[in-house]
Amino acid sequence: MEDKAVGGHFQRGQVESYELECLHDIKGKTWTCLVAPQSFIDANAGDARKFSAAVSLEDLADVLVAAASSDLSMSTELAAGYRHQAELLRECAATPSASENWNELVQAFGDSYRQLARELAGDWVVPGRFRSTSNRIVTFKTWNELARPAHKLELGLVDVYILKGWTMAGLTARLSTLDSEEQPPAGWFVSMAGRTPALRHELPPIADIGEFEDARPILIAAVECLAELRAWFDTIGSRVLALSPEAAIGNLIETAARLAEETGRSELAGSLLELNLREGPQL
């Protein structure tokens, strides 16, 4: 198992060494796993695919929260512990490692980007710190625990990850029910960002992270489009996307199971919980 932090990077030959371990195991019982923030997995997609599996810290956090919410037999203390661990994982996914190889030009670029964002939109859109030359994805503060923005510089994408259990099909269907005046701002469309549905806006890519003045027009466009979408979230998005259909169905099943248990119908309660655990992730 290999773990990485925000802005981290693979050492020379590191990925290949994991591949060789699998090749040398003639019984096929060796599996390799990369555990890292989704931003690292996205930025190193080619290398990540060389592992048997790549698991994001955000996904691990979501599983812990889902377990704490769906298992009615779990004690209050254990459920609280799961949620606390989930918060720690999310914090780790958003906090660059202090041991990274700092690069002064990249740090200066990040400082200028943060200052520009503050001037244009305020502290809510300030990006995280740039530490090393491996920084290619800029993460921002999560909006109301519902949306997590990221600017993927080299790809020319601004992705706002939609949390709370949404699927791409569910998100597309929900937005299609909105009137034209309630739709997200122009230029935003539904897409998959890794394994998470997102609202996406395309911009010119930034190949050289260090030449801030050359990148300024693109960064201004990124902040402005995020500001427009944030305004939409504040007035419409947070209301219509607060709970996915999948999560809503799961909540109803949990409520029905709880009522069945309270009225002495334990067998029915067990069947409902089994249904929820089996079907929930596929809805």
pLDDT at 124 (0 to 100): 66
Give a yes or no: residue 211 inside a domain.
Answer: yes
110 and 218 together in one domain: yes
230 and 275 together in one domain: no
pLDDT at 146 (0 to 100): 82
> If pLDDT is split at 50, 70 and 90, which confidence band does 33 have?
very high
> If pLDDT is split at 50, 70 and 90, which confidence band does 243 have?
low
CATH number for 146: 3.30.1460
Q: Decide which of 197 and 270 is more confident.
A: 197
Mean pLDDT over 14-41 rounds to: 81
Residue with tokens 């259909």: 245
132 and 54 together in one domain: no
109 and 218 together in one domain: yes
Torsion of CA 239, 241, 247, 249, to 10 degrees: 70
* pLDDT digits 0-9 by tens, 173-223: 889 999 999 999 999 999 998 778 899 999 999 877 767 899 999 999 999
73 and 126 together in one domain: no
Q: Cα(114)–Cα(1) distance, rounded to whole angstroms?
A: 34
* pLDDT digits 0-9 by tens, 111-150: 888 889 888 887 766 666 555 444 577 878 788 778 888 8
Q: Cα(89)–Cα(84) distance, rounded to whole angstroms?
A: 9
> If pLDDT is split at 50, 70 and 90, which confidence band does 283 have?
very low
Give a yes or no: residue 264 inside a domain.
Answer: yes
Please, are residues 139 and 148 in contact by the beta-carbon 8 Å criterion? yes
Residue with tokens 């020319």: 156
Look up the pTM and report it. Answer: 0.55
29 and 53 together in one domain: yes
197 and 274 together in one domain: no
Portion of the chain with pLDDT greater than 90, in percent = 26
Please, are residues 188 and 177 in contact by the beta-carbon 8 Å criterion? no
Most confident of 83-97, 119-133, 146-160: 146-160
Q: Domains in the chain: how many in total?
A: 3
Judge whether residue 25 has pLDDT over 80: no
Helices (H), 3-123: 14-24, 38-43, 45-48, 57-70, 76-94, 104-121
pLDDT at 203 (0 to 100): 96
Mean pLDDT over 93-97 rounds to: 70
Residue-range definition of the domain harbouring residue 235 = 104-240
Residue with tokens 């889902």: 66
259 and 142 together in one domain: no
Give a yes or no: residue 161 inside a domain.
Answer: yes
265 and 220 together in one domain: no
Q: Cα(152)–Cα(91) distance, rounded to whole angstroms?
A: 20
> If pLDDT is split at 50, 70 and 90, which confidence band does 279 have?
very low
Give a yes or no: residue 99 inside a domain.
Answer: no
Give a yes or no: residue 14 inside a domain.
Answer: yes
Portion of the chain with pLDDT greater than 70, in percent = 83
* Average pLDDT for the chain: 81
> If pLDDT is split at 50, 70 and 90, which confidence band does 100 have?
very low
pLDDT at 280 (0 to 100): 46
Q: Decide which of 57 and 100 is more confident.
A: 57
DSSP string across 149-166: EEEETTTTEEEEEE-TT-
| Cβ within 8 Å of residue 108, ≥6 positions away | 210, 212
> If pLDDT is split at 50, 70 and 90, which confidence band does 98 have?
very low
Phi, psi of 281 (to 5 degrees): -65, -15
